[in-house]
Structure 1
C-alpha cells in the first residue's frame, strides 16, 4: 500500500507510530533539555495532537509532525521555566559573607557565561551541557546523539574555543 493511502487515524497505524517513535522522541527531548518527566509529558501531548489531527497528517509526515510538535512544546516549556526562575530569584533574598563587589563580579561573570553558552551552536551547546552539567562521558553523549565520539570531541572543542573567546573579549 503506498504511503499516501495509509491513514494515521487507523488505530493499528497510530499504535505502530507510537511504538516506533515515542521512546526516541522522549530521549531526544531528555538529552536536549534534561528533564525526563517533562519529556514524557510532551511526548504524550504530541501523540494526542497527532490523534486529533490524524485526518490531516499523511503517514510519511507523521514522524516529522511529532518531532516538530515535541520540539516546539519543549522550547515553550523551557522559556516558561526561565521566566518562573527569573521571578523566583527576584523574590528570594539571599545573605552571604562575600563583599558586594565580589557578588557583583560573580553575577556579571555568570551572566556572561550563560549568554556565551546560549550563543553556542545547538550541537555544541548540547554536548557542552551534557558533559559539563550532566557529567556524561563523550562515549555516552555519542550514543545519545547517535554520532561518533570524534564528532563529540570536535563539538566540545569548538564549544570551549568559542566560550574562551567570548569570555576573554567580554572581560576586556
Structure 2
C-alpha cells in the first residue's frame, strides 16, 4: 500500500479533480485488492491495482454524471483559494478538455510511465487503440497549449 498509494491517488485525483472522491476511489481500490490478495500475483499487483482504480474511477464518473449535485461556485472558490502557478493551471485546463479515456491515457503514459501494453491491460483497450487515442489526445493538448489566448 505504501509503495503505490501516492501514485494511484495522484492518477485518480488528476482525473476526478475532487480530493474526497479520489480518496474514496483509492480506498475502494485497495479494499478490492485486499479481498483478492490471494489470487493476485505479487509482481502484477501494481498493474492490478491501477486497473481496479481505473474501473472504480469510471464507475464514479458515470454515477456523478447521472446526479449533478455539485455546487460549482464552491468548487471555483476552493480552487481559487489555492495559489497555483499559471503554467500548472493552463496544463490542468488543457487536460480537463480531454474526454475521460484520453485524459486517463495521457496520465498513465506521461505521468505514471506505463507502457502501451500495460495501459491496454489497465483500460481494456488493445495496444493500437491506446496509441491512436493517446496520439489524438496529445494533438488536442498541443492545439490548446499553443493557442496564445490560453497562455495569456
TM-score using structure 2 length: 0.50
- The number of equivalent residue pairs is 95
Instruction: Please give the alpha-carbon distance, in whole angstroms, between the structure 1 residues aligned to 2:5 and 2:105.
Output: 24
Cα 1:77/1:124, change in 2 over 3 Å: closer
TM-score using structure 1 length: 0.45
Give unpaired runs (5+ residues) of structure 2. 70-96, 114-136, 147-152
1:118-147 CA-partner distances (Å, limit 9, x unpaired): 6697149979xxxxxxxxxxxxxxxx8368
Deviation at 1:158, TM superposition (A): 3.8
Instruction: Please give the alpha-carbon distance, in whole angstroms, between the structure 1 residues aligned to 2:56 and 2:23.
Output: 12
- What is the aligned counterpart of 2:46 among 63, 86, 99? 63
Is the CA contact 1:25–1:43 (under 8 Å) kept in the aligned structure 2? yes
> Which fold has the larger relative contact order, with Cα–Cα distance below 8 Å and residues 6 or more apart in sequence?
2
1:39-79 CA-partner distances (Å, limit 9, x unpaired): 11111111111111111001011111110111111111111
Is the CA contact 1:42–1:73 (under 8 Å) kept in the aligned structure 2? yes
- What is the aligned counterpart of 2:6 among 9, 23, 28? 23
For the pair shown, the structure with the greater C-alpha radius of gyration is 1
Matching residue of 2:102: 122
Segments ≥4 residues shifted beyond 6 Å: 124-127
Cα 1:77/1:146, change in 2 over 3 Å: closer
Cα 1:33/1:126, change in 2 over 3 Å: farther
Give unpaired runs (5+ residues) of structure 1. 1-17, 89-116, 128-143, 162-172
Taking only aligned residues, the RMSD between alpha carbons, in angstroms, comes to 3.6
